[in-house]
Structures are given as C-alpha cells and as structure tokens.
Amino acid sequence: MNGLSERIRIVLVGTTHPGNIGSAARAMKVMGLGRLYLVAPEAPFPSSRATALATSGDDVLQEAVVVDTLLDAIEGCGLVLGTSARQRSLPLPLLDPRAAAARGVAEAPSHDVALVFGREKSGLNNEETRLCHYLVNIPTSEEYHSLNLAQAVQVLAYELHLALRADTPGEIEPPDWRPEPPERLEIYFERLAATLQAIGFLNPNQPKRLMQRLRRLYLRARPDENELNILNGILSATQSAARGRTERNGD
Amino acid sequence: MNGLSERIRIVLVGTTHPGNIGSAARAMKVMGLGRLYLVAPEAPFPSSRATALATSGDDVLQEAVVVDTLLDAIEGCGLVLGTSARQRSLPLPLLDPRAAAARGVAEAPSHDVALVFGREKSGLNNEETRLCHYLVNIPTSEEYHSLNLAQAVQVLAYELHLALRADTPGEIEPPDWRPEPPERLEIYFERLAATLQAIGFLNPNQPKRLMQRLRRLYLRARPDENELNILNGILSATQSAARGRTERNGD
C-alpha cells in the first residue's frame, strides 16, 4: 500500500458467502488495497474458506475490521461511494467505476474514502443507501446485470489501482474544506427533523419523503465542520423561536 | 451480444479449476461477451461446478468450443492478445487492459479477435506465447501480482465492454435534478439572511462572513427547484415561528 491507498476503505455489507470475502481480499491485495471492513457479515468470519480464497491476501483478512452497522464502517469518511445495480426512487448522482476511482483518489489526500458493496442477493438497503454521497454502477450487458460480489470488488479495485498510479487530480477542492464525517451529519439530520416538526413544517406522520430530499441536498453539499456548526446554530435559534411561539400559544 | 462482440473470442488454455471456467463464463455474460474457447482443459468439462458458478452464463458454457490446441482456438483470428503476468525473454509489445480492449474493438469490424488466458499456475508456454501479436499485462500491486484467472477475465471483459459501448459518460446526474438558476438562488439567500436575523442568529451589523459560508455551502449543493421550494418553505415556517416569539415578546 502507498499512503493514498490507506485512505481507501473497502466495505462489504452483510456478505453471505465466505468465499466472496476471501476473493475480495485477494482482489484488494493484488491491487494494493489493504483496508477491509465487514459490516455484520452473514458468513462466518474468520473462516477457512475465506482464507483459502484470499491466498496471499490473508493479511487483508487478518486486519479486517468487523462492525455492526454501515455507519460504524464509514465513521470519519468524507466520501462514501455505494455500489448499486439499480437506480433508486430518489436517485443519487451516479458514477461509473472509472469516475468513482478518480474521485476517490482525488479526495483521498483530504479524507478517508469508503467504497461500499451490498449483499449478494439484495445489495444495499434504503437506510444504507441514504448514507452514500454517490452511487457507483458497473456497466454491464443489458441482458444480464448480475455481477458476482467478488468480481465487482475486482473491477473497482482495478480502477482504484489505475487511478492511484496515475495521480492526476482532475478536480481540486478548496484547501479549507474538510467534509464532516457521516456520524456528525446523522445527528444534524435528526435535529433538523425535530426542528422542522417544531415549526410545523414537517408532518410527523409522513416525514420520510421530505427528509429524503433534504438528505440528498446536504449529502451533495457535504458540509465541513464550520458549516455544520452554522447549520446546527440555525437549528438552535429556530427551536428557540419555535418555543417562543409554543409558549405564546399556550398563553 | 451486439455484432462487434461476436467477433471477440475469450480463450482459456489448460484451465485446471472448473470453478474458474464457470466464473469466467459469468464474467463474460455480464459484460455481453459470448464466445468462449477452451483449449485442452485440465478441468472436467462440462461440470456441475462450472455450471453452478456460471449462473446465467450457462449458455456461454453450452456454446463453448473445446479444442486441442491454441492454434485451433485462434483459427481465423486477425488479432491475438495473450495475457501474461510476466515479461518474456523476447518481449512482445505490451498492452494494458484498456489499450488491449481499445485495439481489440477497433479491429473487430475487420476480423475476429482472440483474448487468450493461460493456465492458473504457469500461464502460457513459449510455444503459445509465440502465437500472440501482443501481450496484455494487468497492472497490479508491486508486492503481489497473482490475479486469479476468473478475476483476470473479469477485468478484461469489463474493459472490452466499456470499449464496445464507448461514448458513455463517466458521471450521470440524477435525471430529476436540474440545478436552479442563480437568480432564484439569490432570492433565497436574501430571504435566508432576513430569516436568520429574525431568529437572532445573524448579527445584522456583521452579516457578511456567515452569509459567505452559507453561500458556499448551497452553491456546492446546487439545489434544484424542488429542493429550493423546500428550503424556502422552511424559511417561511421559521419566520412564522419567529413572529410568534416577537409578538409574544411584545405582549
């Protein structure tokens, strides 16, 4: 691994087959990637099957981090790319593997980057997809889309390897901008929902669609610490204002 | 398969593991390639293991052509690309997977093209290598080179698929997202500043720095019409809440 590749996490969510974990580790190792996260694997882990298929990638398996939720796996990441075979009801920006790798490597000097792979059968659920800044779609035949999980990891690892070798930044972000990690943004979204209810803007019975749209907006913006402080400050001031009204209404 | 992809043969030489034949067939199928040649496979063929791993690529297996020698497999081909993990004593021109795919697709209108993969352990022998016009080398980590056969087929099949599709944009924005024009965003910023003053968050004497930061955040997000309507709706609700407090204060 070189320095940049250490900023890149490969995250497998709910993997069912131990062989896929092993093959993914091998694909990573061959392409110079080392940081593997397993979110609530369905497969037993560690397992002899995974180790056998990892071959020389067994050190990747040994250093793999097992966590309970996707949010744990992407903690501290400034960019979260979720692979997806299908388009969602509320679409996110979509990258092909090459553009995803270019973006990941371009941002890796600033912050950790996560590349997330869903379950073999069902992919990422809506809850998990909501944590992603971009979706990554591997182009396939129109006739048959189903890429095996390890093959999908291989394609992305290969593109990341090429992008890491090339080190040509196509886009340079402002130096003072460091996107806040997902865990802080999630707290903001909860406060935002509560505040919108307090000012009577969010219908507590049907909060979902509106919050989905606001999530997409702020995930696209990727606020940094300063900006998130401002946004939280606005919520606090808004809640004070709402309390004022509530108290008055109760007069 | 489209017309061009029918001119491209994937040739596996002396494959040992039936699972690799199946996974290769699946990788081909997903990437819209259908013509598989097996040269003197060591693995039993057909086999249930290969069929299981091919999943929907089993038609590729059923139509696979089994031959005795590489020369039989590449009969009639105008271009033969041999994958190789190492450089030979008498070097051939070397292509990376992208250049190999570009060349293969460029020549496919004129003649059949073969992409040849050697044995799992020992690759192509000298006799076989001599039949190749180019060698194809998949870039890997310097530390660990050994790509699994099916993974190597996957990488090349993916590059061939991209080259066959060509002209596909690397990033696709959600179809329902059309950033609002600046003039509408400017109106929002004015309302935002007024609202933040109303809830006591913005110091009217020094509004600039804060509004600059908020501008940068929302310019980065580029809200669309729907999102801007939501943001404006939140401002309206917030102003109502603030009026509530103001009126109460004036009670």
Q: Where are the domains of chain B?
A: 4-165, 182-249
Identify from B158, B213, B243 which residue to disrupt to test chain A contact, counting A C-beta atoms within 10 A and taking the largest count: B158
Average pLDDT per block of 10 residues along chain B, 251 residues long:
85 96 96 96 94 91 96 88 71 83 88 93 87 87 86 96 77 74 85 94 83 85 90 95 62 40
Q: How confident is the model at residue A206 (pLDDT cuts 50, 70, 90)?
A: confident
Query: Structurally, what CATH architecture does the domain formed by B182-249 represent?
Result: Orthogonal Bundle (1.10)
Query: Mean pLDDT over all residues of chain A?
Result: 88
Domain covering B4-165: architecture: 3-Layer(aba) Sandwich (3.40)
Residue among A55, A54, A59, A47 nearest A22 (CA):
A54
Between vectors from CA A62 to CA A61 and to CA A64, what angle results, nearest 5°? 60
A47-76 confidence digits (pLDDT tens): 999 999 998 899 999 999 999 999 999 998
Percentage of residues in chain A having pLDDT higher than 70: 90
- Do residue B244 and residue A244 have CB atoms under 8 angstroms apart? yes
pLDDT for position B242: 85
CA atoms within a 13 Å half-sphere pointing along the CA-CB vector of B43: 23
Inter-residue contact B113 to B6 (CB < 8 Å): no
Residue scoring higher pLDDT (B124 or A86): B124
Q: What is the pLDDT of residue B133?
A: 83
Q: What is the pLDDT of residue B147?
A: 87
Contacting A residues, span 178-207, partner chain B, CB-CB under 8 Å: 196, 198-201
Q: What is the token pair recorded at B50?
A: 């290969």
Please report the ipTM that was assigned to this predicted complex: 0.73
Topology of A4-166 in CATH? Answer: Alpha/beta knot (3.40.1280)
**Cα of B91 to nearest chain A Cα, Å:** 23
- Across the interface, whether the CB atoms of A237 and B200 are under 8 A apart is answered yes
CA distance A156 to A82: 11
Q: Phi, psi (5° rounding) for residue A112?
A: -65, 145
Q: Tell whether B168 lies on the interface with A, counting CB pairs under 8 A.
A: yes
Average pLDDT over residues A221-245: 90
Q: How confident is the model at residue A171 (pLDDT cuts 50, 70, 90)?
A: low
Percent of chain A with pLDDT over 90: 63
Q: What is the pLDDT of residue A169?
A: 47
Q: What pLDDT, on a 0 to 100 scale, did the predictor assign at position A138?
A: 92
